[in-house]
Structure 1
Amino acid sequence: MNVINVIKSMATSDGDGVKISRVADFSGQHLDPFLMIDELKSDDQADFIGGFPPHPHRGIETFTYMIKGGFEHKDQLGNRKVISSGDVQWMSTGYGVVHSEMPVATEEGMHGFQIWVNMPAKDKLRPAIYQDSVDTPLPVQVNEFGAQLKALAGQWQFAGKTVTSPLTQLSANAAIADLTLPKNSSATLDCQLNEQILVYVHTGQVNGFSAGQLLVIEPRSILELSAQEEAGMLIFTGSRINEQVAHMGPFVMNTQAELRQAIDDYRAGKFGEIPVG
């Protein structure tokens, strides 16, 4: 496989002082249809105890995946779920959502991700959609070397099998998987139908690349991945949207005028409020 770009995650903070490592591209040029990958990885409660108090979104999809620890999600639609180890959650925000994500099970530390996926202009004002995997286990496939692929979203071809997540409606055919490689193992994934292919190393080293690095892979490739020590990575595929991106805080639209309208609508209370209790 041909790695055409390597992007190192940068330390930053968000929410109420939550420390994260972030890879972001709001130009629409390099990661399309993905906008941002935030990784939270810490055993120190001070790094995440503040969580993410109520805040709005419009025009994007948020995808949360927890490896360790958990967050309680609440939104104005009335959804209230604890997303814990091994769970995923997807919100297609469309016209607008207000949600909060506050930490639970903090004694074991945290390791998780929130990924932003862009939406095409035609879908940015549709009603919000919510789905999670709390009551529907995610499928896992293992190859002959013990490499394990967990289908977080979309459909994957791995070890001679089709592996399909219960979450299949992500924007722009986006698919996400968590691949774990044991010591001295390898794995191959056929991504020849995908316009965008990204690999984010979150544990150990993969093909000589270290944790915290995002690899941009040549489109329509076969991924050949190996590790000398145990390693883990998120793999992202999708179709390019190829539209202008206008970004301001939690809003991602196509024009500055649409961003101003999003702010006005939120301030006017048109997104709703999270139910009390």
Structure 2
Amino acid sequence: MDTNTATPDLVRHPRHVERVLAGTPTSDGAGVKLTRVLTQPLQRRLDPFLMLDAFGTDNPDDYIAGFPDHPHRGFETVTYMIAGRLRHRDSAGHEGLLENGGVQWMTAGRGLVHSELPEQQEGRMEGFQLWLNLPSDQKLCEPGYRDIASGQIPELQTAEGVRVRVIAGASHGVAGAVQRERTEPLYLDLHLPAGAAFEQALPAAHNAFIYVYRGALDVADTPVAVQRMALLRNDAGSDGVRMRAGAEGARALLIAGQPLNEPIAQYGPFVMNSNEQIFQAVEDFRAGRFV
């Protein structure tokens, strides 16, 4: 772990909270229960992010069936495991085991079929899956996959004792495990002690949100309770975000990125730029032309 005790990213004009949202309970795969935090109506507002699912349960009946073989095209999936074991296999021959604190970063590109199945019969399963859009000229790129173990995720600790796991982008001079040139995603897992403050520089044009999954936060004087998303305003002249944990501390995801400002056409697991491209994706999948 890198320890940062220097002056944190200086935020002179922090963003405010546009609104606080609760996710939508749903199920996916073969009946896995989850909460859809970033829903389809928010895709344009939070471009380049398409979806965020949060799952967390001690009941094996809620997760044991997992996510059997299913296709994707046109975007990237980022699965972050907080607790549990999930085996990933795909049609390109990639395979990995996602365990506590690890990340599976998959680029579906022109098409993949994959599965994500629990490797446990009991105990807690908890984590997140984020969908990150691909630019139009990269949607049919070669599929790729990266399995990032917990120990490979760079970390830092601020002078106030905030532990920052830098999955993507950079924070306080520490580069994350993944970088993307066009969408410039920032993906931080923040562990804040009781009453601790944290600030992070953000480009004013980047869309950003915070999801609290333990405790509570105050974000620019707006309270954000557990299992709530704070959608941050794109304030003119803003240069970052400030937050402070409540009396029980907090754990939260801070996610931000450069919008693509391109049309979004989605049909289930296919995300393209036009309906014609969606029709082609369905035809290619049915004809067995995915990897």
Separation (CA, whole Å) in 2 of partners of 1:163 and 1:105? 34
Q: Does 1:268 align with 2:278?
A: no
Partner residue of 1:71? 86
For residue 54 of structure 1, what is the amino acid of its counterpart? D
**TM-score, length of structure 2 as denominator length:** 0.88
Partner of 1:58: 73
- Offset of residue 191 of structure 1: 1.4
Q: Does the Cα contact within 8 Å between 1:194 and 1:237 map onto a contact in 2?
A: no
* 61, 82, 107: which one aligns with 1:92: 107
Unaligned ranges ≥5, structure 2? 1-14
> Match for 2:19: what amino acid?
N
Give the match for residue 5 of structure 1.
19
Cα displacement (A) at 1:153? 1.5
SS at match of 2:152: coil
| Residue among 133, 138, 141 paired with 2:156 | 141
TM-score (norm 1): 0.92
Work out whether residues 69 and 106 of structure 1, in 8 Å CA contact, stay in contact via their aligned partners in 2. no
Task: Report the alpha carbon displacement of residue 165 of structure 1 after superposing the two structures with TM.
Answer: 1.8
Contact 1:195 1:237 in 2 (8 A): yes
**Cα deviation, residue 132, structure 1:** 2.0
Is 1:200 equivalent to 2:218 in the alignment? Answer: no
Which 4+ stretches in 1 moved above 6 angstroms? none
Q: Distance in 2 between matches of 1:48 and 1:171?
A: 34
1:33 maps onto 2:12 in alignment: no
> What is the RMSD of the two structures over their aligned residues, measured on CA atoms?
1.6
More displaced 10-residue stretch of structure 1: 190-199 or 43-52: 190-199
Percent identity over the alignment?
35
Query: Could you tell me how far 1:12 is from its partner in structure 2?
Result: 0.2
Q: Tell whether the 8 Å contact from 1:173 to 1:238 is kept in structure 2 after alignment.
A: yes
- Per-residue CA deviation, residues 54-99 of structure 1 (Å, 9 max, x unaligned), is 0000011000000111210001111111111010111111100111
- Secondary structure of the 1:229 match is strand
Q: 1:211 to 1:27 in 2, by over 3 A?
A: closer
CA 1:185 to 1:27, structure 2 compared with 1: closer, same or farther past 3 Å? closer
Answer yes or no: is 1:223 the counterpart of 2:234: no
List runs of 5+ in structure 1 lacking aligned partners. Answer: 273-277
Deviates more, 1:108-117 or 1:183-192: 183-192
Instruction: Tell me the amino acid that sits aligned with residue 18 of structure 1.
Output: V
Once the 2 structures are TM-superposed, how far is the Cα of residue 135 of structure 1 from its aligned partner? 7.9
Change (3 A) 1:154 1:140: same
Per-residue deviation at 1:170? 7.2
Equivalent residues, number: 268
